[in-house]
Structure 1
Amino acid sequence: MSASTSFSPDEALAALLAGNRRFVDGKQSHPNQDADHRSALASGQHPSAVLFGCSDSRLAAEIIFDHGLGDLFVVRTAGHVSGPEVLGSIEYGVGVLGTPLVVVLGHGSCGAVSAAAKAHAEGTTPSGHVRDIVERVTPSVLSARAAGLTEVDDFVDVHVRKTVDFLVERSPLLGTEVAAGRCAVAGLSYSLAEGTVRSVGSRGPLSEH
């Protein structure tokens, strides 16, 4: 890794969870958003985490985790579906910027997961490139149903865990960093109504939070 931060994977996750508690309690500190900090970042960035989340407009990472400029390296797609561009972006965050943590962030009532569940149940296929998203989420829906699960939010949890596994297993760089204990991948699910996040699985050196 060509860059490093002062955070361990555990410390990076703890900072995110602490920020989320401030957000939920309405006690945000809005860190690292002043003009001096903005200027200091012009010469380089050292984010504490890569945040790979759903594109849903209600899932703005810096807001719900009470972080600021330069704190998070954010990658977002509908249903947090992965492809080469996503893997390359995450590998840049881990391999070049030296972030010690990757977070996969799903959320309740996810539209992409709901669409995949509906398409499978009805035997229909969405038009356009939305079909690509649905097809990438469908294996998670099938796994969830095979396990006897029926609720969309349960499907979301399965999809988050499968995404965590996919990233570690598909990216040689990420797999190496996780195996060496230098990086961890945490799966979280966000409640739209409550604003809280909860852990749904992880890979790598993380304690219970």
Structure 2
Amino acid sequence: MALKFRVIQSNDRGLITKQGDRTYARRGPAKSEEALELPTLFIWVSRKDRYLARCWTQWTGERLGDDFIYDVSRFRDVIDLHGDTRYHQWCLKQLRLELWAMQQPALDLTEVSCPVPEAVYEANRHKTAAYLKRRKQRLEVQTPRLTKAEQERIQRLYEQRDRLNEASGCIEYHVDHIIPLAKGGMHHPGNLQLITAAENMRKGAKLVL
């Protein structure tokens, strides 16, 4: 039976460092797993810092707004992922297994404490999730039938982005839709370009002529 993981990503709720810490996540336990203790991959990001806490968590039965509060029932370690940007691909089972098995020196975080969820919780934090859902829907609708060559061009562009980000140690580059999806642009290699994250944030969903 494949090892099942709970995955929590954070840049705003403190880093798990020991047994007994409590944190929260948007996704609740699956049906029949409410009382289960599951191995957990908790990734914490702050600018170029990227740490992975490996532990086991259980749902406390409590909710905080739309989120679920989890307790660290057992703690393993925290490791430094350096410039590894693969955390964007949490959905890959193989990657989860690799991160759980990765051999890295454990960080000494005895001076670091995880704040209680109530102290750092932000209401309406799921606006980003709603935006990502809309974007995914647009990608599905606005991707034309692509030839194999066009699919490979898109793949190479995203691979180039990932190499540059890994070399810089942070998310410094984005793949941008020249005509934004929100303005009817297509997810097609002719409408894609590699630009810096700062440029993409300034551009937003505006048409730049």
Q: TM-score, normalised by structure 2?
A: 0.25
Give the structure with the larger strand fraction.
2
With normalisation by structure 1, the TM-score equals: 0.25
Larger radius of gyration: 2
